[in-house]
Amino acid sequence: DGGITQSPKYLFRKEGQNVTLSCEQNLNHDAMYWYRQDPGQGLRLIYYSQIVNDFQKGDIAEGYSVSREKKESFPLTVTSAQKNPTAFYLCASSPAENYGYTFGSGTRLTVV
Amino acid sequence: RKEVEQDPGPFNVPEGATVAFNCTYSNSASQSFFWYRQDCRKEPKLLMSVYSSGNEDGRFTAQLNRASQYISLLIRDSKLSDSATYLCVVPFYGQNFVFGPGTRLSVLP
């Protein structure tokens, strides 16, 4: 079955450490997205990519980086510059404009 | 004005009740709209798409009013399993979607 896989499900980061969240899709979707959700709040866009080797900043890109070397993969790195990284991170993809998103099951990141 | 606003909730309704949520958006050029359902600590899942004046799927009806720039979601005969947060989603600037803050629904036995 096609879908989006995010890993790990839970991740703990020490202060000052970079961590990378994985997102892989086998839906053959062109566009991929990363969102952050804080408790009781809506989703905020971090980065998005509409085509391989190209990506754009979303509303809260500071302290994050991404790459899109393959259509199937869109990893997100949370750098030490992100001062408040504890959140629920969601990866999504869509086939084209005006189509809804398919989400991965998310990664819960906690700073310890 | 925020890009996408929703009824703040929470809505606490008895089983079998009919409940409606509203969502307003600021981008008059938006053509398609979505309602997502998000269970606690889970990812959002697509509930309904709205491309024209509305859409109906079983107990769920979504209506679009372009002139007033709002969409609504009506749930009839509420079930306990309908308890979740409902997210209104509106596309802005092409392919990027803006999510509303969500409306939480609790269906009580």
pLDDT digits (tens, 9 = 90+) for B61-100: 999 988 888 999 999 999 999 999 999 998 876 557 889 9
Average pLDDT along chain B = 90
* Confidence class for position B32, pLDDT limits 50, 70, 90: confident
Chain A residues within 8 angstroms (CB to CB) of chain B: 31, 33, 35, 41-43, 45, 48, 50, 58, 88, 90, 94, 96-98, 100-106
Q: Are B105 and B11 in contact (CB under 8 A)?
A: yes
Contact A6, A107 (CB under 8 A): yes
CB-CB contact of A74 with A66 (8 Å) = yes
Q: Please report how many Cα atoms fall inside a 13 Å half-sphere around the Cα of residue B81, on the Cβ side.
A: 1
pLDDT score, position B27:
74
| Shortest CA distance from A33: residue in chain B | B96
Contact B100, B8 (CB under 8 A): no
pLDDT number for residue B95 = 54
Sites in chain A below the pLDDT cut of 70: 1, 97-98
Query: Per DSSP, what are the bridge partners of residue A52?
Result: none
